[in-house]
Structure 1
Amino acid sequence: MPAYSFVILSYNEELHLPRLLQSIKALNAPVYVLDSGSTDRTLAICEEFGATVAYHPFENHPKQWHAALNSFQIHTPWTIGLDSDQIVTPELLMKLQDFRDEDYLGIDGIYFNRKNYFKGKWLRFGGFYPKYLLKMFRTGIGYSDLNENMDHRFVVPGKTITWKDGHILEENLKENEISFWITKHNRYSDLVAAEELERINQLRSQTVKPKFFGNPDERIAWMKSIWWKLPLGLRPCLYLIYRMFIRLGILDGKAGILFHFLQGFWFRLIVDVKIKELLKKGR
């Protein structure tokens, strides 16, 4: 048996789940899927691939991952957490085939490199590549960061390493319809606005220590600590300039420019507007 198990979140993922499960099938590793009430063929697909399924109602991604890590009896020393719209590339598959627990003594977590796609376009610029995500961690040691409402990350207390070669590919095909993207992110903006209001009122703190020269998550925590101090309404403009011109997002072509505008400006502007509305209601 491999040294790791896969844990996956799902909700109406008949479009994505076969891609992911097929990409890891050769590893013959245990697969666990936490579903939040799918009404399409998701559960049938899980059965076809031999995955173990449990149910938990969805509130937000960090809480759903927390539930996922506590819903299954995982007996392998390592756990890999993946989203249904991700795929393991052949290069990463080879690294996992060669993985041995005894070669990673003293390591609690491993960062994978992600390639993100939007409308079929690889987002190579705008700060989206390389993008390192902590996806593999020691079972019972790694946990879901519950101090954020939307941005999800796994956290480990000990040493981590980064695999720069080999990738996970991420492409949500549902987001090819702009109405789906807007509806989804409008919902996310409610979660982020509520979270930031709690931060303003010092009711929420960062789990990961902000550190500019730290691991990928510590660097993100440092950038967020700066972001939360910037003026509401101005920071989306600054971020768009940063994404488009400093990180060369403009080179990602029409689809990429649309993504950077929507995700880097529109979404964050809506968050700021909602924060102001919540502050006004509070007063």
Structure 2
Amino acid sequence: MTQITAIILTFNEEKHIARCIKSLQAVCSRICIIDSFSTDRTIEIASSLGAEVYAHAWENNYAKQLNWGIQAAQIQTEWTLRIDADEYLTEELQQEINLKLAALSSHISGIEFTRKVLFKGKWIRFGGFYPIHLLRLWRTGLGACEQRLMDEHIVLSQGETIRFAEHVVDENLNSMHWWVSKHNNYARREAADVLNQKYQFTFTTDLSAAGNSQAHVKRTAKNSLYNRLPLGLRAVAYFIFRFIFQLGFLDHPKVWVFHFMQGLWYRLLVDMNIYEAEKAAQSNPERLKEIIQQEWKIEF
């Protein structure tokens, strides 16, 4: 087994954490949980499976939490792996990691996995959701999470990236009520991120080209095209593009709900947050920043 330390951010993940940890045990010599003071059995389950637990208050910023965890864990293994609690490695990916990693050339610093997303037990194959390539495994000390409010990626300070063939699976088992609540929070974070890009409240790293070319292409399209379209209209246009032109309608009917909620409802929610904030601030950058930080409780 190649020496790998896994980092998992958690808050009330008792439905997922055992599945995630067990999938990592085949490849990782160390598993670290960065917990935001869960009130369910997350810590109990993780500890019983041999994971180390670190507690740190959530600041409504994934990048801050992950980078804090990477530092707090004081990782000494050759490789570091990032995974979400509701994800797991397939057996095929476990085998690929164990077979290939130790033999990699020293100039390879990062490994991309292909993510396979399931919704209500059905694979989201179309609508631009597959394949999604994410840099999840990197040589310790050479990777960090870029400082963004949303759509954060691991970026490398040096070296090249390759892609493994097998999958990490994203399958959240929570209810739609939970999903809606989560995306209500996401919508404000994404709105704040868009407003930050527009008004330049603070410097934000955008280094995804160095570690994830697919993410860089998508982000460039979003900033140069999508964000320039009128509020509201762009959400409708995106849903039509995704459901019709990217063949989302070919997915299972259960997945149509996901395409509608994530591709239209959520995008409209982001736009409404932007509209309300700009109207309240009369597009004054200082007042906008105050609204985001004091009323939305989001720090840049």
Partner Cα separation in structure 2 for residue 206 and residue 28 of structure 1: 32
TM score, norm. by length of structure 1: 0.92
Q: Secondary structure at the match of 2:108?
A: coil
1:100–1:240 Cα change, 3 Å: closer
1:28–1:229 Cα change, 3 Å: closer
Size of the aligned set, in residue pairs, is: 278
Q: Secondary structure at the match of 1:57?
A: coil
Q: Secondary structure at the match of 1:135?
A: strand
> Does residue 239 of the first structure (1) align with residue 235 of the second (2)?
no
**Residue of structure 1 in register with 2:286 after alignment:** none
Stretch deviating more after TM superposition (64-73 or 200-209): 200-209
TM score, norm. by length of structure 2: 0.87
Partner Cα separation in structure 1 for residue 203 and residue 242 of structure 2: 26
Partner Cα separation in structure 2 for residue 2 and residue 263 of structure 1: 37
1:252–1:162 Cα change, 3 Å: farther
Superposition map of 1:110-125 within 5 A: 110-125=111-126
Identity of aligned residues (%): 37
1:210–1:74 Cα change, 3 Å: closer
1:94-151 per-position Cα deviation (integer Å, ceiling 9, x unaligned): 01112444523112211100100111111000001011011011211100111x2122
Partner Cα separation in structure 1 for residue 111 and residue 23 of structure 2: 19
**Residue of structure 1 in register with 2:199 after alignment:** 201
1:271–1:19 Cα change, 3 Å: same
Partner Cα separation in structure 2 for residue 127 and residue 63 of structure 1: 28
**Residue of structure 1 in register with 2:48 after alignment:** 48
Q: Is the 8 A contact 2:96 2:164 kept in 1?
A: no
Q: Is the 8 A contact 1:210 1:219 kept in 2?
A: no
1:16–1:210 Cα change, 3 Å: closer
Q: One-letter code of the match for 2:75? A: I
Q: Secondary structure at the match of 1:98?
A: helix
Partner Cα separation in structure 2 for residue 84 and residue 13 of structure 1: 7
**Residue of structure 2 in register with 1:105 after alignment:** 106
1:67–1:196 Cα change, 3 Å: same
Q: Secondary structure at the match of 1:271?
A: helix
Partner Cα separation in structure 2 for residue 223 and residue 279 of structure 1: 23
Q: 2:188 aligns with which of 177, 190, 203?
A: 190
Q: One-letter code of the match for 2:253? A: K
Q: Is the 8 A contact 2:111 2:164 kept in 1?
A: no
Give the C-alpha shift of residue 185 in structure 1: 0.7
Partner Cα separation in structure 2 for residue 277 and residue 255 of structure 1: 32
> Does residue 69 of the first structure (1) align with residue 70 of the second (2)?
yes
Q: Is the 8 A contact 1:4 1:76 kept in 2?
A: yes
Stretch deviating more after TM superposition (243-252 or 17-26): 17-26
**Residue of structure 2 in register with 1:280 after alignment:** 279
Stretch deviating more after TM superposition (241-250 or 161-170): 161-170
Q: Secondary structure at the match of 2:72?
A: coil
Give the C-alpha shift of residue 186 in structure 1: 0.9
Q: Is the 8 A contact 1:35 1:53 kept in 2?
A: yes
Q: Is the 8 A contact 2:108 2:162 kept in 1?
A: no
**Residue of structure 2 in register with 1:132 after alignment:** 133
**Residue of structure 2 in register with 1:224 after alignment:** 222
**Residue of structure 2 in register with 1:252 after alignment:** 251
Q: One-letter code of the match for 2:246? A: R
Query: Runs of at least 4 residues of structure 1 off by over 4 A?
Result: none
Partner Cα separation in structure 2 for residue 152 and residue 63 of structure 1: 10
1:251–1:100 Cα change, 3 Å: closer
Q: Secondary structure at the match of 2:104?
A: helix
Superposition map of 1:131-210 within 5 A: 131-146=132-147, 148-174=148-174, 177-204=175-202, 207-208=205-206
Give the C-alpha shift of residue 23 in structure 1: 1.3
Q: Is the 8 A contact 2:155 2:208 kept in 1?
A: no
Partner Cα separation in structure 2 for residue 205 and residue 128 of structure 1: 29
Q: One-letter code of the match for 2:13? A: E
Q: Secondary structure at the match of 1:207?
A: coil
> Does residue 19 of the first structure (1) align with residue 6 of the second (2)?
no
Q: One-letter code of the match for 1:4? A: I
Structure 2 residue runs without a partner (length 5+): 283-300
Q: Secondary structure at the match of 1:58?
A: coil
**Residue of structure 2 in register with 1:89 after alignment:** 90
Q: Is the 8 A contact 1:243 1:264 kept in 2?
A: yes
1:75-110 per-position Cα deviation (integer Å, ceiling 9, x unaligned): 112100001100100110001112444523112211
Q: Is the 8 A contact 1:111 1:160 kept in 2?
A: no
CA-based RMSD: 1.8
